[in-house]
Amino acid sequence: MPSLTTQAPSRPRTRPRLVAFAPAALAVLIAAAAVAVHRGTGQFWWDLAAYRTGASAAAGGDGNLYDVAVRGTDGIELGFTYPPFAALLFQPLAYVGPDLAIAFWTFASVLALVAVVQVTLRSAAPTADRRMVPALVATVVALPIFAVSGHLQAGQVGLFLVLVVLVDLTGDPRRWWYGLGVGLAAGFKLTPLIFVVFLLATGRIRAAGTAVAGFLATIAVGFAWRPADSAQFWGGMLLDSSRVTGDPRTILNQSLHGALARLADSADVSTVWLPVAALVAVAGIVLAAWCVRRGEHLLGVLACAATGLLVSPVSWHHHWVWVVPALVLLVDRARSTGNRAGLAVAGAAWLVLVLTTAWVLVGIQGRDLHFRGLGLIYSNLYVLIGLAALGYLPFYLRRGRRP
């Protein structure tokens, strides 16, 4: 007789399921902490409060979207500075209280951060096995970076825009909607328009046209919904940088404009900034296109993003959340090639980006406008990192090998 063997029933693989829910659990914990901090201090999330105020004004019907403002505890008034199309997407915030808005926004922002890391890893090595654990580890490591923590603390929108652009530009360029994400992101906030130039420079004319069409569609929607506000915004208000910052010298403005203003200790440096910004813009786009020609498409996208951050009149610290995919790419390349120098550079950059949290104390103490000596280096760290990264690219591309 054949032997009978008893086989133990297979146990369900619960670990992968638990890992799959880990991003949501992390997001819930951080969202709960955010609500607790807001209730206990009454501080932070002022940008989210401005979004809610603008959304409420638009929901009210006849109110002018750009005449409303929210006053922070420091006395500074924050008005709505985005196109009417953004106010339309912010409409759900008009019908919830601050606690629920903070909880939802923080929860969604953390999930967007996880997604940004995942998209970066998959684009860096499409054939590699990209499990959730490395993405979660990278997300936790990224949370203390001031660009990220400041983003969550302010209730900003940058992580969502980074995700939309990354998903769009790292996807299959044969899709008919390739470039549409860039256009929609630009219709929400103007800064992603630089990626239209990137598409043109890399020969993707159709994608650039798709992006422009998407952008124009958001303007049309805004005029159909809020014609007076749209006429005010697109009629010239978008060029008024004073609505975004009263003084470009503030340390939280990490753009070439801010750096030059701090260097000259003057708020009016337009005659110098405009030619410098134009030179950096051209050089950055050329480098980004060169990356694409060498098969480094993700690197080209990141080079374009760095260029946009540098040449924008105002690039707040939280706009620099693009450092997250940049660091993920650098670490991934360094690990895959055994390059210890690359890992050391990534570690040093991470430490600098975390320690810049001290800029909050500098601003609170009122010392964020006038810098001398080493203070000029300290106050322009993001600008210097961006310029150094772009300056390294020609040497890397000429070597023709990955770092």
Residues 144 and 281 in one domain: no
**Alpha-carbon torsion, ordered 90, 94, 96, 100, to 10 deg:** 40
Any domain includes 12? no
For 84-93, 123-132, 272-281, which range has the lowest pLDDT when averaged over its residues?
A: 123-132
**The last residue of a domain, from among 173, 203, 233:** 173
Using the predicted structure, report yes or no on whether residue 80 has a pLDDT greater than 90. no
| pTM, full prediction | 0.91
pLDDT of residue 403: 42
For 65-74, 267-276, 354-363, which range has the lowest pLDDT when averaged over its residues?
A: 65-74
Mean pLDDT of the chain: 88
Residues 260 and 402 in one domain: yes
Any domain includes 206? no
- Mean pLDDT over residues 89-108, rounded? 94
223-257: per-residue pLDDT in tens?
999 998 899 888 877 776 666 666 888 899 999 99
Residue 337: band (very low, low, confident or very high) from pLDDT cuts 50, 70, 90: confident
- Mean pLDDT over residues 78-88, rounded? 89
Which of 286, 276, 282 has the alpha carbon at shortest distance from 397? 286
- Mean pLDDT over residues 336-357, rounded? 93
Which of 165, 308, 191, 321 has the alpha carbon at shortest distance from 244? 191
Using the predicted structure, report yes or no on whether residue 388 has a pLDDT greater than 90. yes
Residues 270 and 397 in one domain: yes
Q: What is the DSSP letter of 69?
A: E
Q: CA 326, CA 197: separation in Å to the nearest integer? A: 20
For 67-81, 141-155, 184-198, 227-241, which range has the lowest pLDDT when averaged over its residues?
A: 67-81
- Angular region, 37: left φ>0, alpha ψ -120 to 50, beta rest: alpha
pLDDT of residue 365: 56
Any domain includes 224? no
Using the predicted structure, report yes or no on whether residue 351 has a pLDDT greater than 50. yes
Residues 267 and 360 in one domain: yes
214-224: per-residue pLDDT in tens?
999 999 999 99
Any domain includes 223? no
pLDDT of residue 73: 57
267-314: per-residue pLDDT in tens?
889 899 999 999 999 999 999 999 999 999 999 999 999 999 999 999
36-59: per-residue pLDDT in tens?
999 988 888 989 999 999 888 888
Which of 284, 239, 248 has the alpha carbon at shortest distance from 269? 248
Q: What is the number of domains present in the chain?
A: 2
Residue identified by tokens 């694409």 is: 292
Residue 362: band (very low, low, confident or very high) from pLDDT cuts 50, 70, 90: confident
Task: Determine the 3-state secondary structure of 79 from DSSP.
Answer: strand
- Mean pLDDT over residues 361-385, rounded? 82
> What is the residue range of 123's domain?
26-173
Any domain includes 8? no
**The last residue of a domain, from among 173, 192, 219:** 173
Any domain includes 156? yes
**Looking only at Cα atoms, what is the longest distance across the chain?**
96
Q: Which residues pair with 71 in a beta bridge?
A: 77
- Angular region, 155: left φ>0, alpha ψ -120 to 50, beta rest: left
Residues 113 and 252 in one domain: no
Residues 75 and 154 in one domain: yes
More confident residue, 360 or 277: 277
Residues 262 and 124 in one domain: no
Any domain includes 81? yes
**The last residue of a domain, from among 173, 193, 223:** 173
Residues 252 and 163 in one domain: no
Q: What percent of the chain has pLDDT over 90?
A: 65
- Mean pLDDT over residues 377-401, rounded? 91
CB 272 within 8 A of CB 260: yes
Any domain includes 186? no
